Amino acid sequence: MSERAVLYEAADRIGMVTLNRPDQRNAMTPELLDGFSEAIGEALADKEIRCLVITGTGRCFSAGADLRSSLQRSDLGKPSRDASFAMYEPFLQVLDLKVPVIAAMNGHTVGGGFGLTLLADIRVANVDAKYGANFARLGIHSGLGISYLLPRLVGLAQASELLFTGKLIRGSEALQIGLATHAVQAEEVLPTAMGLAREIARSAPRAVQQMKASIRRGLRWEIREAAFEEAGLQAASLDTEDAAEGIAAILQKREPEFAGR
């Protein structure tokens, strides 16, 4: 493909990163992850932007890991903490941005793609799309610090239900539980996110960036550390019979039968 897997553009003091592999549901392929790292690098180098919007093309924001290939960076060999962490490290670069980040969740957002949106400061949902961390249905531990972030965003009980069941919720419910601040029709997701970005861009940039830093400092926002801890647990869970069963079941579009091994 000639067009980049992840695009970066900026105008009117607003940057936009677009996951651009709709035919692959913007899954976390090595190409997309490398492209994301490059695009975030461009955003970090752009000193003119006052807000960043992350979105996707097609019906999915991101379907998460490509289950037909690998749930880790396969170039690092057998399952390990380092290989799991390397899978998520490009997305974790979002944490290096001093400006506010808005996730314009244009479509279905699952697994690691869902985790990417949790790294944003604000989320705009598609009222009809599905969102969630379905790791338990795959027989593996969550990654990208999701078990750290989700309880802090929606509360312990809501996060526990979502993580333990692996269920996906509609954008309308994401709004109800506080996961998203807006839930709109698909065609309004990006315009709504851009409207919010323009409001932020009109505010004093230094004050906004300082407040973002203060919020994270006050929350003891140690996401990278949490993601690294999760990476070890995810690597261990990948080497189980349940993980093999869970992944096979979802690819075969059937219910998994877990044995606890």
Cβ(170)–Cβ(109) below 8 Å = no
Domains of the chain (ranges; CATH) run: 6-186 (3.90.226.10)
Say how far apart CA 244 and CA 258 lie, in whole Å.
10
**pLDDT one-digit tens code per residue, 175-186:** 999 999 999 999
Q: Which two tokens stand for residue 147?
A: 């078990």
Please give the single-letter amino acid code of residue 162. Answer: L
In the chain the first and final C-alpha atoms are separated, in Å, by 41
Low pLDDT (below 50) residues in the chain: 76
Q: What is the pLDDT of residue 75?
A: 53
Burial 8-41 (b: 16+ CB within 10 A, else e): beeeebbbbbbbbbeebbbbbbbebbebbeebbe
**Other C-beta atoms lying within 10 Å of the C-beta of residue 72:** 25
Q: What is the pLDDT of residue 69?
A: 65
Q: What is the pLDDT of residue 70?
A: 61
Q: Determine the longest span between alpha carbons in the chain, in angstroms.
A: 56
Say how far apart CA 139 and CA 241 lie, in whole Å.
8
Q: What is the pLDDT of residue 67?
A: 72
**pLDDT one-digit tens code per residue, 10-40:** 999 999 999 999 999 999 999 999 999 999 9
Residues contacting residue 123 through CB under 8 Å, at least 6 positions apart: 102, 103, 105, 117, 174, 179, 180, 181
Say how far apart CA 170 and CA 107 lie, in whole Å.
10
Q: What is the pLDDT of residue 71?
A: 60
Q: What is the pLDDT of residue 66?
A: 77
Secondary structure of the chain as H, E, C letters: CCCCCEEEEEECCEEEEEECCHHHCCCCCHHHHHHHHHHHHHHHHCCCCCEEEEEECCCEEECCCCCCCCCCCHHHCCCCHHHHHHHHHHHHHHHHCCCCEEEEECCEEECHHHHHHHCCCEEEEECCCEEECCHHHHCCCCCCCHHHHHHHHHCHHHHHHHHHHCCCEEHHHHHHCCCCCEEECHHHHHHHHHHHHHHHHHCCHHHHHHHHHHHHHHCCCCHHHHHHHHHHHHHHHHCCHHHHHHHHHHHCCCCCCCCCC
**pLDDT one-digit tens code per residue, 68-98:** 666 655 554 566 888 889 889 999 999 999 9
Q: What is the pLDDT of residue 72?
A: 58
Task: For residue 184, report the phi and psi dihedrals to the nearest 5 degrees.
Answer: -130, 175
